[in-house]
Amino acid sequence: MDAQAVIESLDFTLLNHEATEEELEGFVSRANSSEVGAVCVFSEHAEFVKERLNPEIKLAVVAAGFPIGSSDINEISHAISSAVESGVDEIDVVLEPRKEENFPNENELELLKEMRSAAGECVLKVILETPLLQEREMRAVARMALAAGVDFIKTCTGKRGGCSDDAAAIFAYEVMRHERAFGEKLGVKLSGGIGNMDDVNRLTSIVNQQDPSIIKDGSRRFRIGASSLLDSIEGKS
């Protein structure tokens, strides 16, 4: 990917509950001037950001706990529904992993189904926190999430480990596998410790080895979540 394609696939992120209006103003101004694909903020900042964001840039919010996701289905449903009602375009939500050997099971399936229902027509990106998972768990929960109707499977929050090469490969493969089995073209969001074009080039090469159509289809199927990557691309400190 060239730098412009990365920016168009970027979920430019500011996740700080204590962010001031001045910080949010600067964040939105930067997003507008760089013409990023989307911005991602906490729900309480959605209205402020939406009023100032260029309409062609998607507004995503993180709902129902971050970096530790809620396990309460009612809390999850209410948080997502409230975000949708505020007029956002996309929802990012953590499916909190369990340490039990039976993860994932019907508990996770019910949560995923409720996430999908509550998100309505909004794009739903479910964070599967791969740094905490073994390969079997990554594959199982990715398949479950895709079957439940999420639009993107996202590698991690970045708060409990970064996006590994293995996670990128596994998620790209599982999206490819799902398309072949069910005919649905779903997406991958890579997030966690992606700070420069070297990281991007390495990870996108891994995705392309599994299924080049994911990145070729653009931001509809491929996203990068980052807060500092834009600085690196544009040469700003």
50, 154, 199, 211: which is the annotated catalytic residue? 154
Give CA–CA dist 173/5, Å, rounded: 22
Q: Are 237 and 202 in contact (CB under 8 A)?
A: no
From 50, 189, 199, 211, the catalytic residue: 189
Mention every residue, 6+ apart, whose C-beta is less than 8 A from residue 135: 166, 170
CA distance 86 to 116: 17
50 is a catalytic site residue? no
185 as an active site residue: the answer is: no
Q: Which of 191, 181, 189, 180 is nearest to 150 (CA)?
A: 189
Burial class of residue 102 in the structure, from the number of CB atoms within 10 Å of its CB (0-12 exposed, 13-18 middle, 19+ buried): exposed
Active site residue 92: yes
Q: What distances in angstroms separate CA 185 from CA 179, 180, 215, one per listed residue?
A: 5, 9, 12
Catalytic residue from among 92, 151, 199, 211: 92
Catalytic residues: 92, 154, 189
